[in-house]
Structure 1
């Protein structure tokens, strides 16, 4: 019961999920879709039918009819309201079950992208068939079910990209918007921090400019003109978001978190965190 209460996902045993790396299940009509606020250690991919509104990373997304829904665990998400009962299927899997870099690079799971792919009747029937087959494999005793489910996940992802490619094709008005996009993408690829002994590699605008082979002044101007925020502001916001996640969802000592985020001394991290959040790391962790 504890796992279910903490995740909001019926029948999910997190220990079992970590061992196997995946879970496939049907969504009972009397239960809300498995979208609950908070950071988790697994990705979610669902086929849902209903009428609902979801808050995904601060964006309100409406789902009407049948749609595919993809959840990045680093994006806060919650069901806002539901007009009627929802039904469908969900597949939950850890980053280690699939290639972690492939997941981070996929437009469907990329931060800032729309994770909803609306389906017409024909597409919905096809996707429903795939999820039913995947569930059948999951419930069966086939020796290589993990490999087969990986193939189903990959097929669903590629079909989703084929159905709705326009939202995933990057277009740039000029060089500034292109370099700004590359910076944002590179920034997100630095996270999440998974090991305290592998500290954050890129910490400053100069670091990112070097990596992107541009002058730091050009990078700063491009990011500011495209997003309205400075390069440093983007970096600081992402570091603080990761710091909060590690403080809330890991048992690392504050000193370990400080080193993992690239701070030479824990005191530097404490001052940085307090300046940007108004509280110390220890105080934030206890709240």
Structure 2
């Protein structure tokens, strides 16, 4: 399938960076995740709490979600289909940048390191569809379509025609109605709608990146990739060993102060905070998804003894590991 660059902008405003990008094709990579005012604290990932909620598939209006600027480096347990019907922004996926506007559909893999920055003050229109990894296991026909046409791997961003945009938006609207109706067959019907969305998306063209990421952002990406690898593979036989900025910088052949400065510039937080946050998130996942003892989990996270781990967890979450394990999605624990 041939690629095509983003369409030319209508207004020719020399002061509009987004317009210049679409006219000239100049690379305008995301170098500051939070250079647009944000309602969320620096480093916040809006979708992170969904990891702990008990759902299989859901549809959300983009306007209602707020669609704030974010950097999402952590492993997620859901796939995300994002239809843009209005608004603009920069999307960084892996090591490529894309200027995104209306009539675009994105397929975000759970393991993808992604970054989004709005380029308009108002929240754009569109719809998100998110479904858990286990949902694919429950619906092999949906998984077959995704694997056959390489959605979420090779097909990540597609430009749609007006007709396809209307049709996909209608399918997502029907999915919301199915979700509201509930019942045993609601999720079965919704996966059929997802298949129709995938087939209709095939009529689109692949979205060409606007340029490669900067060297600065590449270092940030490599840090998060290494952090995710270190925590993602953690288990009883392979506990987490890297817990400091110095250790990560050494693995990346960078000066620790330099790497810390870059990461703080892009996320608003130092490496030490990001590492601690990631250890907390992995601790939550292990508490919810395994039956391992607190002593075993503390060793996996890298603590010498269980009391120190419990104190660390309570300091950041507000409850003990045992309390969290009994009620992991209470709002007070996730706020």
Tell me which of the two structures has the higher relative contact order, counting C-alpha pairs closer than 8 angstroms and 6 or more residues apart.
2
